[in-house]
Amino acid sequence: MARARIVDPEEGPRSKRAAILVAAVERFGEDGYESTKWSEVADRVGIGQTALYHYFESKAHCLLTIMRLELQRSHDQFVEATRDLTEPVGEVRVAVRAAFAVSEQEIRQMRILQANMSLLANPRKSKREETERVAARQLVQMVERDWTNLLMRGMSKGAFPLRDAHTLGLSVLGMIVSVWRWYRPTGAIPLAEISEMIEGCVVRMVAE
């Protein structure tokens, strides 16, 4: 089976960067960020630990990069899924379905993101880490704005009751992302069933 890839604009044709990111996602997803040794990521890629520092100056730098890329993927997927839609309830349904239309690799990335969100709260001493942290925080705001604007459009059309769209959007997002804290592909409930349940809950939350 071919290994999953992470789309990273910074990757060159001979770069090991994407392979390192995939290996880090696998290790962080299996054992958690704190429990994973940086050398274990190198072993999984098949390179020396020193070679890792050509691409990432620290394990935290790698983690912040994973978080930033996952947030960018989530934002892009939302935009693509809701493009050209005009019916508010249908737009909400499609946006929720898109959030759960993910691969096992992307599930790991979202689990890592949600487990380490506190890392985005405080400035980093390292310039490269801080660049990734700031970019990730900006993307968090973009994702929140995506949902806020979607709900505001529905309210303006009379499809949803008038409320604080930002607070409501945060509540919807909270419900969606909470799934990645406990969901596992090997669990008893299929992701499609969870997606359908969350979709119904979100529609009731915003439309009633």
Domain assignments of the chain as residue spans, ordered by start: 60-207
The per-residue pLDDT for range 68-84, each reduced to its tens digit, is 999 999 999 999 999 98
Given a cut of 80, whether residue 5 has pLDDT beyond it is no
User: What CATH number belongs to 60-207?
Assistant: 1.10.357.10
**Mean pLDDT (whole number) for 151-173:** 96
Alpha carbon distance 100, 194 (integer Å): 9
The answer to whether residue 2 scores a pLDDT higher than 50 is no
Tell me what pLDDT residue 200 has: 97
Q: Is the model's pLDDT at 117 over the cut of 90? A: yes
Buried b (16+ CB within 10 A) or exposed e, 64-81: bbbbbbbbbbbbebbeeb
- On the question of pLDDT at 1 being above 50, the answer is no
